[in-house]
Structure 1
Amino acid sequence: MKINSNHMMGFRIWISLLALIPLLTLFSCLDNNDEGPVPDTAFVSIYHGSPNAPELDIYTESRRITNSPLAYSQSFPYSQFFAADRTLKFNPHNASNTLLETEHTFEKDKIYTLFIVNEVADLEVLQIEDSWEDPDGDHAMVRLAHLSPDAGELEVLINDESLPFGNSNPYLEVTEFLKMEKAKVKVTVKSKISGEKLVEVNEIDLRGNRVYTLMIRGFADPSKGNNQLSVQLITNYIKF
């Protein structure tokens, strides 16, 4: 996404509208009581993709930014963060110990997603800069994020024939956003090594004027727990 004043204004309005949706209670990562000039900010979303990690409280430096715990497969929606070098800490909900502490650089007016990935013993955060073209009424922008820690290399088919995200999708790959026609599509996930069909989902609804991330997440091995391999579509942005 090329940042310009009109586009950024639209994104800021969309961020404000998100605050009205009670899917996840949050408060601003900025201190509204600060006086002086408005600081430079970036926009950051955080997705919990570790299938055996607990619900998390997230801190920037020493300040908790989540009012409600972030559970597996949930997103902390895009929020304004100071554009600077930032330290994030991830604690089990209502616990004092820290599972992971990470350092991130956020640049002015840029948009990022932080993916919490891997099994809890090897927890890490994958930082991706989100960049897309504006969708239109007949098209969506869609990317693929392979977050399953034990599924190996994958092939992701759309309607049994198309491989829009390439012939091979390795673990922790987050593709570029691709333009796709609005439609209800079938998504099939296969092992690249064995050719085995791992999961299939019918009638995923891709709507126009939207930007999506198609998540492949969870454990391919059912013995590892209840959060088994699955497909999840999340909305990054709606063009009003």
Structure 2
Amino acid sequence: MKSIFSNLFLKRASLVLVSVFSLSLTSCLDKNDDSPEPMPVAYVTLYHGSPDAPDVDILVDNQRLNSQPFKYNNYSNYLNFLTGKRKFKFTPVNAANAYIDTTLTFKEDKLYSIFTVNRLQNIEILVVNDTIITPASGKAGLRLIHLSPDAPAVDVVTTGTTGTSVAADLAFKEHTLFKDLTSGSQTIQVKRAGTNEVLLTLSDVSLTAGKSYSLLLRGFLTPPAGNTNILSGQLVTNY
């Protein structure tokens, strides 16, 4: 048995960065040269969502995935991983100590999104089991994931004559299922749950018919001194 590295960005499950960023990630797969049978894999995407944490390295089974520092708001496409138990470490760049050291279990052909979340002093990972359903004709799919450690529970709605609810009373580390929305340009408001207090307005959110998206609510509602990662939204394309 020997380890190999390969580029594992998958065409059928690509993600698009809102702010342009190119990051090379690789995944370590065991390959048995004596067996022609393909290894069972799961598909995993990674996102740095801790708004006061520094850049990190990501190690899986003690092998580094990233060739560049993994920064806040960076994320990968879906990567394929061997199924079963995989040991994950998130460490300072080029350091041995780990902010997070845990083991995750992946099932064959399943999709997962892994987020680093919370403040650095309480940093942890959030694992979301992804179930992507093709939107209805002329519609786009949208889900919301709450990653802001100091924002309250929120209600999220689209505005205008076709305004609709996307999330209700969604708390930190919670997420919705995908919901079909009218495609095209949308204005989305994030409100304190149960009130009309608008915490964030996202204008010109472009949703393409037939595609599914995650809207990530991230950053600090009240940033600590010297931190500029304010409450904001990041739209990523799941499929």
Give the TM-score of the pair, scaled to structure 2. Answer: 0.85
What residue number does 1:128 align with?
128
Any gaps of 5 or more consecutive residues in structure 1?
A: 1-10
What residue number does 1:3 align with?
none
CA change 1:152–1:34 in 2 (3 A) is: farther
Amino acid at match of 1:232: Q
What residue number does 2:5 align with?
none
Contact kept? 2:158, 2:166, Cα under 8 Å: no
What residue number does 1:4 align with?
none
Within 2, Cα distance between the matches of 1:66 and 1:137?
A: 38
Amino acid at match of 1:30: L
Q: After superposition, give the CA deviation of every residue in 1:33-60 in whole Å (9 maximum; x if it has no partner).
A: 7552321100000111100011111011
> How high is the sequence identity, in percent, across the aligned residues?
35
What residue number does 1:156 align with?
156
Within 2, Cα distance between the matches of 1:177 and 1:145?
A: 11
Contact kept? 1:160, 1:187, Cα under 8 Å: no
Amino acid at match of 2:223: P
What residue number does 1:8 align with?
none
Q: Higher helix share goes to which structure?
A: 1
Within 2, Cα distance between the matches of 1:217 and 1:191?
A: 15
Within 2, Cα distance between the matches of 1:170 and 1:73?
A: 20
CA change 1:142–1:24 in 2 (3 A) is: same
Any gaps of 5 or more consecutive residues in structure 2?
A: 1-8
Within 2, Cα distance between the matches of 1:34 and 1:62?
A: 22
Contact kept? 2:47, 2:114, Cα under 8 Å: yes
Alignment length (residue pairs) = 225
Contact kept? 1:154, 1:168, Cα under 8 Å: yes
Contact kept? 2:10, 2:77, Cα under 8 Å: no
State yes or no: 1:188 paired with 2:186: no
Within 1, Cα distance between the matches of 2:43 and 2:116?
A: 17
133-142 or 202-211, larger mean C-alpha shift: 133-142
SS in 2 for 1:148: coil
Alignment map for 1:40-59 (pairs within 5 Å): 40-59=40-59
What residue number does 2:139 align with?
139
Give the TM-score of the pair, scaled to structure 1. Answer: 0.85
CA displacement at 1:69 relative to structure 2:
1.6
